[in-house]
Amino acid sequence: MIATQLQINSFLQAPNVQFVIPVYQRNYDWTNTECKDLLNDIISVETEDRGTHFIGSIVFVHEGTYSTSEVKELVIIDGQQRLTTINILYVALYQFAKDNSKTQDAERLYNMFLTNQYVKNESSKLKLKQTDTNSVAFKAIMVGSGSELSVFSNVTENYNYFRSIINEDNFELILRGLNRLIFVEISLERDKDDPQRIFESLNSTGLDLSQSDLIRNFILMDLPPKDQNRIFETIWNPIEENAKDIVKQNSLVSEYIRDYLTLRNKKIPNKSKVYVEFKSLYDNKKDEAYHQELENIKSLSIHYKKFINPSTVVNPAIKKELEYINRLEINVAYPFLLQVFEDAENGLLAKEELIKVLKLIQSYVWRRFIVGLPTNALNKIFMTLYSEVDAEEYYDSIAKALVKKKGSAKFPSNEDLKTALKDKDLYNTQPKNRNYLFEMLENYNNREFVNTNNEQITIEHIFPKNPHENWNTDLSSEEFFVFKEKYLNTIGNLTLSGNNGALSNRSFSEKKEMNFDGNEQGYQFSRLWLNSYLKSIDAWNISKYEERLNIIYERFLKIWKFPDVEITDGNESEEENIFDAESPTYKKLEYFIFQNTKEEVESVSQMYFYVIRKLYEINSHLLVSTQDFFKITRSDLDFRAPQEIVNGWFIESNIDSNAKFSILRKLLSLFEMEDELSIKYLSAIENKTEPNRFGIRKKYWQQILPVLHHTNLFTNVSPSKDHWLSTGAGIGGLSYTLIVTRLDIRIELSIITSSKEKNKIYFKKLFKNKEVIENSFGNPLVWEELPENKMSRIKFELQDVSIFNEADWKKMNDFFVLYLPKFENAIKPFIKNLR
């Protein structure tokens, strides 16, 4: 690495040099604001005669791999925003000179700063080589046609800004000011320096680069140019396009990668640590699994696009539900929904069931809002919710999982709602929530949609905020007080009106019958459902309020339904905060979640040691200073059964589970982290080794795996609670799968790469050999391309057996033992030919 202080003009004037902005660099993001600051600096350094003005550093890869026969390419690692902006300013100065008969100045600017004068290859002519849209825009301003571009670009915006400022009075001034700019040139040698490490070091504050910028650079930076362009075009650019809010034109790639990592790892990364988390997972970028992972990230980004841009969804019913989820900003559900939508794409649930899941999420979140349950619990709930999905009863399994939640995670009951609706202030809430409530209430079962966000429709207090004196005579003093102090802003006293200003503070009878100038302002003329009850009454009092509230409540239950699922097993445990949990005596854990990280362990001791280690990392001084209820020392002799936690610190391990729970609760309170540890016990029947449906499946897999003697396919596969087991078939995205259900079992080749197109190509190639494969296998197979779904499959089935009938297990075992090796041997040679 060589660092040199240099004038920017000397750098730009170097002959036969091209400054290449690589595809992994972030977009050119400087706006008029930054351009104005730079131009002010350029002008002031000259007018104040300050000698020079330092503009930072420009880092590039020195020579090495990236050179053509005509020019030396310098790949810009850092400093592209400044370098691009200065080039745009030179273009604006050049075009001004050309338009104002300054021929000599124009030629000098064009040949010295903007182009390589004697280079023949057109692609090497411009000194600044941009990418994609920026390249098109830069070429356009070079020929003076920037205003004709149909695509928005900061290049043209900033060029137009500079052109609006440059005039006869400041043209020479700006040129002289540019001569005073200096920077630090940092040149790297590819074989000696590590561009990624240097880049990270230069941007260690994280102020300039988003997490997605760092991830993009990590993926692309150390690749040869051809691979950079290929990965950028086929992987990264689609991700950026899919993760862009098309209304606000905001990039949400960082948020998407965070949600993807949450789904993948069952751990929610800190927003400022997404890049660090991503990088830690993919150290070996040459590994096939890494490239498959990138394909999967791209594939799931297609679903993310639907979440952030519901207008792009084709199915109107799904589009409507996603619009509501988007409006309510239920972003915490996105990691869960990524996999749900992927399952729908693969045919594991029908569109109708997907819509039910989307409605269920709304009901769960909206009921919690009405009741006033904390929103911070939702992160952990949705982080782990997919683990509760049973593909055989997709919606019901999700609904049951939510209904069984307790404490701060609970699904509010109908009774909870009735109480909350009577008391909750729904007028002084966020507009997004208020608008959603009234839109849903008004439009339930309506044939014609009523746009309640229409400026002509406003929220009306039936009993007014500032009541006319007539209300004192219409109501008893007690009722007047209750309306004024308790029910004023509750849903029972709120309605919609197109004449809010006219109705104002009048008495109820006036509000109902008003027809001033024949404009039919009163309730009795309204076609809105929310006013239908008001048409039928002649007075507004507490009794009428309660009647109307009950009507709204009944409608509420039809819109935001409580799931109609039967919870048959009262012994099943649910995830709960450790402060709410029952005694751990004679219980095992299924998992725990600490600081948004899920850990699957069985023993309380494992959780106890894990949490204490994490608390040491958070604040070691606070932990070791806590001696009144918790002892930690550097001497193992202080304990009967010492357990080293970290760095030579020991604690006592020989204490019962209740004592461990008690200490953890006290420590969490001390650290003010009471909401950070949740646990889930194994269900009572699992603790007693009496299997439920998940336990039955696991028990079946435990007994079948050891008897699959004639194949090594499942040698390294562990039993699971799912109705399927999979193992790789030699190519990423292809797997041999054993499936057991309540009606049948099957052996399957699942073709489920991240690319639907690739899946269909693989399937068709295999299908061409159908006759040979089936002859080798000895039986006809079921070939399912599934053109509407992403996945395809080839399978062999045994009907009329059930995983839940243990008497069928021998027959099922015989089927798998006999046919799995034959299935593998018949298909395997043709899978090899797919590479």
Q: What is the pLDDT of residues 428-442, one digit of tens each?
A: 999 999 999 999 999
Determine the pLDDT at residue 16: 87
Note whether 268 and 383 are within 8 A (CB): yes
H/E segment holding residue 275: helix 274-281
The pTM of this model reads 0.74
Tell me the pLDDT band of 569, cut-offs 50, 70 and 90. Answer: low
> Between these two residues, 285 and 581, which has the higher pLDDT value?
581
H/E segment holding residue 363: helix 351-371
Residue 348 lies in a domain: yes
Distances (CA, A) of 238 to 299, 319, 631, 756: 9, 21, 54, 15
Determine the pLDDT at residue 69: 58
Tell me the pLDDT band of 134, cut-offs 50, 70 and 90. Answer: confident
Determine the pLDDT at residue 447: 82
Mean per-residue pLDDT for 69-92?
Answer: 88
Contacts of 256 (CB under 8 A, 6+ apart): 239, 242, 243, 301, 304
Residue 823 lies in a domain: yes
CB-CB neighbours of 454 under 10 Å = 10
Among candidate residues 510, 528, 546, the one where a domain is terminated: 528
Phi, psi at 72, each rounded to 5°: -95, 120
Cα separation, 359 vs 364, in Å, equals 9
Residue 555 lies in a domain: no
Determine the pLDDT at residue 1: 63
Note whether 357 and 655 are within 8 A (CB): no
Among candidate residues 413, 441, 470, the one where a domain is terminated: 413
Residue 535 lies in a domain: no
Question: Mean pLDDT across the chain, nearest whole number?
Answer: 88
Residue 23 has pLDDT above 80, yes or no: no
Mean per-residue pLDDT for 530-535?
Answer: 94
- If asked whether residues 405 and 469 sit together in one domain, one would say no
Tell me the pLDDT band of 520, cut-offs 50, 70 and 90. Answer: low
**Chain segment 340-365, per-residue pLDDT in tens:** 999 999 999 999 999 999 999 999 99
Cα separation, 777 vs 774, in Å, equals 5
Tell me the pLDDT band of 575, cut-offs 50, 70 and 90. Answer: confident
Cα separation, 224 vs 342, in Å, equals 33
Tell me the pLDDT band of 29, cut-offs 50, 70 and 90. Answer: confident
- If asked whether residues 407 and 423 sit together in one domain, one would say no
Residue 595 lies in a domain: yes
- If asked whether residues 446 and 373 sit together in one domain, one would say no
- If asked whether residues 71 and 192 sit together in one domain, one would say yes
Tell me the pLDDT band of 545, cut-offs 50, 70 and 90. Answer: very high
Residue 686 has pLDDT above 90, yes or no: no
Determine the pLDDT at residue 685: 46
- If asked whether residues 820 and 758 sit together in one domain, one would say yes
- If asked whether residues 730 and 801 sit together in one domain, one would say yes
- If asked whether residues 29 and 139 sit together in one domain, one would say yes
Cα separation, 127 vs 112, in Å, equals 9
Determine the pLDDT at residue 77: 82
Cα separation, 580 vs 665, in Å, equals 10
Most confident residue range from 95-104, 563-572, 575-584, 673-682 = 95-104
- Residue among 55, 77, 78 at smallest CA distance from 66: 77
Determine the pLDDT at residue 407: 84
Please give the residue range of the domain that contains residue 767: 693-832
Percent of the chain with pLDDT over 90: 56
Residue 206 has pLDDT above 60, yes or no: no
Determine the pLDDT at residue 692: 72
Among candidate residues 206, 236, 269, the one where a domain is terminated: 206
Tell me the pLDDT band of 101, cut-offs 50, 70 and 90. Answer: very high
Contacts of 522 (CB under 8 A, 6+ apart): 503, 510, 511, 512, 513, 514, 515
Tell me the pLDDT band of 691, cut-offs 50, 70 and 90. Answer: low
Count of structural domains, the chain: 5
DSSP 67: B
Residue 688 has pLDDT above 50, yes or no: no
Residue 549 lies in a domain: no
- If asked whether residues 90 and 138 sit together in one domain, one would say yes
